[in-house]
Amino acid sequence: DPFFINAAISDAWFFSDTNGQGFFIIVYEDSKSVFLAWFTFETEDRQAGLSANVGEPFHRWLIGQGPFDGDTALLEVFLASGMVFDSDEFPVDLVKYEDAIIKIVWTDCETGLLEYNIPTLGLMGVIPIQRVAADKVAACEAAQAQ
């Protein structure tokens, strides 16, 4: 039977070979949409004066949002910036990267493949992802059995 996205996919995900980044993914079954927050930060100090390709040096958040069908989600990509912890002095700015896409294909309840393409920044790649913890695997598998 083919795999299909369900609400129990909602969880924290990561790629074990990559320090300092991960994904929070939320599935909204009623609207057939997926929200993704991709956080990344530098694991080593950068030299002064270097700039980051995406967002602020040392850490950044990319946001993805879009529809899903079957085992695949196709998400538009946004950069979130202007955030200061526990403060409303700096509003969050959300900038959409035109023609950028994040595609996630889940192979089962514990693994998937995230492909990203952000042409305006010349960034693209493929990342195998897995759950951080197995707490929702049973619920995901039960949804598959229905």
Instruction: Kindly report the pTM of this predicted structure.
Output: 0.84
Residue 132 CA to residue 47 CA, distance in Å, equals 31
Query: Can you give the pLDDT at residue 19?
Result: 73
Query: Can you give the pLDDT at residue 79?
Result: 84
- Do the Cβ atoms of 116 and 105 come closer than 8 Å? no
CB half-sphere exposure, 22, CA atoms < 13 A: 12
Query: Can you give the pLDDT at residue 94?
Result: 80
**Reduced to 3 states, what is the DSSP secondary structure of residue 64?**
strand
Residue 138 CA to residue 75 CA, distance in Å, equals 26
Burial of 35 (0-12, 13-18, 19+ CB in 10 A): middle
pLDDT tens, residue order, the chain (146 aa): 789 999 999 999 999 888 778 999 999 999 999 999 998 765 555 555 555 555 555 556 789 999 999 999 999 999 877 666 666 666 667 889 999 999 999 999 999 999 999 999 899 999 999 999 999 999 999 999 98
> Beta 93-106 vs 72-81: how paired, if at all?
antiparallel
Residue 137 CA to residue 146 CA, distance in Å, equals 15
